[in-house]
Amino acid sequence: MIDFGAIGQGAVVFPLGGPLGGPTDEDWMDVALGLAARGLGRVWPNPSVGCVLVSADGRVVGRGWTQPGGRPHAEREALDRAGPLARGATAHVTLEPCNHHGKTPPCAEALINAGVSRVVVALSDPDKRVSGRGLARLKEAGIQVRVGVREGEAKALNLGFLLHRIKGRPLVTLKVATSLDGRIATATGHSQWITGPAAREQGHRLRATHDAIAVGIGTALADDPTLTCRLPGLEDRSPVRVVFDSRARLPLDGALIRSADQVPLWIVTGPETSVDRGAALEERGVLVLSVAGDGAGRPRVEAALSALAERGITRLLVEGGGDLAGAFLAARLVDRLVWFRAPMVIGGDGKGAIAAFGVDRLADSAQFSARARFDAGVDLVERFDASDPLFAVDLSLGISLSETE
């Protein structure tokens, strides 16, 4: 069992065989899931799908994954690679093939026309344009269909897409990098670097697999960050940069705005932002999203997530600072928590990672379940998932505790 919700992209590992010597549907679906993980952060608002075509004698004749921008779809990619060898093959697909005409013809129709004999699907598609229709069309054409293979892993991988379609918001991953005692800086504000190079590399891999990255205005003013992905070979994987800035105070000469013509920059503001200030930002290529505010005039987290989802964002990485992290946790809108811990202790006068968010009793705290833990150089990386029972029931998550690279 592979957990494709862990940090980074899934490795494509070809199966060695099942108990009777030949690879099983589960083995081939693991390969398809690994392929699907390649598209995370690059295909929004579409899901990231993988497809493997296997001939009757057990040979891979085609493989594909959703391409940047969401098209071509995984099935089309695999069929194009297979050509006439697709006839009689089994297609292992991580999400139900679409059956509606959009910018491209339906994938269910493409599989039928290619003459595949069997389709194995991990997960049905909750999109109301698909939702069972693709599976029904395949069956009507006389193709054998099996559904639910590695369903839990497929849900973990495409949780952002599922939340987008079911709840109208993106997946939210909160990333925190601290000392052992939960500090992100000393009392003087010195913070570079708490974690080492290996941990920071993992942080950039997180950026590469999310559609957007968010910080609060405090972090933007203090650090003047670029919020890009700077791993060699992944420079084109930088997500949309999002700044929560209630009064649009982001400096016009800062690094974020200077690079807005290279990497998209969106600013989420509250209702008190002046028209002139918003216009000045838009003139520099910034998208200004004005949303409903809370009692203090700050953007409401729920409203901000809805606005991001309306523009197609399915996976949001929240990186800082403490006030923004506290707001998301208070709203119970953190789905995954990735905590980087450096082997140092700063002390109580250091700056805490998460601002107060009104927890008076332990029962009111934000609850998570441990999912993965591994070393990154000298630092420890842990991943937790929200353990809200309503959240778990809604999506029937079945996530493995293992880690994948």
- What are the tens digits of pLDDT across the range 360-396? 999 999 999 999 999 999 999 999 999 643 344 343 3
Tokens of 348: 């109580």
Is residue 219 within 8 A of residue 320, CB to CB? The reply is: yes
**C-alpha distance from residue 353 to each of 121, 185, 197, 335 (Å):** 41, 9, 20, 18
Is residue 108 within 8 A of residue 138, CB to CB? The reply is: yes
Is residue 194 within 8 A of residue 342, CB to CB? The reply is: yes
Is residue 357 within 8 A of residue 330, CB to CB? The reply is: yes
Tokens of 279: 């216009």
Model pLDDT, residue 92: 98
CA-based nearest residue to 59, from 81, 36, 33? 81
**Strands annotated E in 127-211:** 144-147, 171-178, 183-185
**Strands annotated E in 30-89:** 50-54, 60-65
Model pLDDT, residue 41: 95
Is residue 73 within 8 A of residue 344, CB to CB? The reply is: no
Model pLDDT, residue 20: 54
DSSP code at position 386:
E
Cβ contacts of 400 within 8 Å, gap of 6 or more = 1, 2, 3, 152, 153, 156
Distance between CA atoms of residues 184 and 177, nearest Å: 7
Model pLDDT, residue 101: 64
Distance between CA atoms of residues 320 and 336, nearest Å: 14
Name the stretches of the chain with pLDDT < 70.
1-21, 100-103, 387-405
Cβ contacts of 188 within 8 Å, gap of 6 or more = none
Distance between CA atoms of residues 194 and 282, nearest Å: 35
Model pLDDT, residue 9: 43
Question: Is residue 75 among the annotated active site residues?
Answer: yes
Q: Indicate the residue type of 335.
A: D
DSSP code at position 286:
P
Distance between CA atoms of residues 394 and 260, nearest Å: 37
Is residue 214 within 8 A of residue 244, CB to CB? The reply is: yes
Which residue in the block uniquely carries the two structure tokens 């994938």?
107
For 171, phi then psi, to 5°, come to -65, 140
Residues forming a β-bridge with 265: 241
Residues forming a β-bridge with 172: 316
DSSP code at position 338:
E
Distance between CA atoms of residues 32 and 196, nearest Å: 33
Model pLDDT, residue 8: 42
Distance between CA atoms of residues 219 and 243, nearest Å: 9
Model pLDDT, residue 398: 32
H/E stretch holding 29: helix 25-37
Model pLDDT, residue 183: 93
Model pLDDT, residue 394: 40
Q: Out of 26, 75, 109, 382, which one is annotated catalytic?
A: 75
